[in-house]
Copies of this chain bind each other. A is one copy, B any other.
Amino acid sequence: MVSIKDVAKLAGVSVATVSRTLSKPEAVAESTREQVMAAVAESGYVANALARNFRRRRSHTVVVLMPDIGNPFYALVVQGIEQAAVQSGYQVLLGDTQNETQREQAYTELVRQRTADGLICLGPHIPFDIDENVTAPPADWPPLVMACEYHGRVKLPRIVIDNELAAREMTEHLISQGHSKIAFINGPEDSPLCQARFDGYLQALLDAGKTFDRALLMHGDFTMETGYELTKQLLQREQLPTAIFCANDEMAIGSLHAVRDQNLSVPDDIAIAGFDDINIAKFSYPPLTTVHQPRREIGAKAMQLLLQLLDGKGSAETIVLPHDLIIRKSTQ
């Protein structure tokens, strides 16, 4: 492998000059610069990033903790992260945690080992033991940004949409369509994001003078399978809901499926709404009413925030990005 020494010898300069020419060319005389570049070209030299990172004490790599790589919602978020990373000379290490604490910790360990400089956490869970009263990230935590989900108490930099508002708007939309028995299939109970969505749902009901029926609230795990199963349960009740609001599109698609299995029609018998606006939402049958999240932007902003953090100019910012109600045929 050709190293910086070889180039120096070939160009007739010192290794320091080669290094300088490559990192800040303007600090080098034009004539020597040309010699060096010629030597680089001739030798086919490529700087060894392993050595450079070692020396600079920066891996220029970030880990993205994804709860489930199979969940299509995350794809565009990761794409946003990745684009922003590449633009800044960073790489993205993929961390599929399957919601397992052990795997989260293994990936977090990469930061302690200096394999990665920081973390972007897409799920609700943070891989640290958190003391009861902690509200700010302790000094021994690595640079960490949350995207989409967030922690209820610890104030970390985060990129979100206004989940409560979005859920309220969707519920209002359903109410405006004449629904009053609106079931809500939410995600995991312990997720602050899901709590916010529930709050929005509840608020809309109360604002409209409706009562909240505990029996219409269910909790899934964001998969099509649970959307299907929970909807089946709902449809075995004596009193059927007239609308089902699911906290993500995948559960909504499972829900659609369950409703059709009972030979009921969407939206005539039961309206169904989702959340996220993943690609498939437009192509479901019928097309799914949902909340659009700017996923790529969420990812890009998260990466930018992390870069700030790594540059030492970090703060526990919360960035709220705009969402959008997308009304399609599943509710009207």
Q: Which residues of A contact B (CB under 8 A)?
A: 46-51, 53-54, 57, 59, 61, 64, 69-70, 72, 75-76, 78-79, 82, 86, 91-94, 96, 103, 106, 109-110, 112-115, 224, 228, 253-254, 256-257, 260, 279-280, 282-285
Contact = CB atoms under 8 A, between A and B. Distances in A.
Contacts of A224: 279-280, 282-283
Complex copy number for this chain? 2
Nearest to A77: B69
A253 to B, nearest CB: 5
A115 B96 contact: no
A24 to B, nearest CB: 19
Contacts of A50: 50, 53-54, 57, 59, 114-115
Question: Which 8 A-B pairs rank lowest in CB-CB distance, beginning with the nearest?
Answer: A49-B113, A285-B285, A54-B54, A49-B115, A50-B54, A50-B114, A70-B75, A94-B94
A26 B280 CA distance: 55
A145 B79 CA distance: 23
23 contacts: A46-B112, A48-B114, A49-B110, A49-B113, A50-B50, A51-B114, A61-B93, A64-B94, A69-B78, A69-B79, A70-B75, A78-B96, A79-B96, A86-B106, A91-B110, A91-B115, A93-B93, A94-B94, A224-B282, A253-B283, A256-B283, A284-B284, A285-B285
Contacts of A254: 283
A75 B79 contact: no
Nearest to A83: B96
Interface of A is mostly: helix
B69 A82 contact: yes
B76 A113 contact: no
A279 B254 CA distance: 11
Given A113-B48, A283-B253, A94 B82 contact: yes
A256 B96 CA distance: 32
A146 to B, nearest CB: 19
B72 A70 contact: yes
Q: Which of A61, A109, A256, A280 has the most CB of B within 10 A?
A: A280
Contacts of A92: 93-94
A49 B63 CA distance: 15
Contact of A75 (B46, B72, B76): B72
B75 A69 contact: yes
A86 B279 CA distance: 30
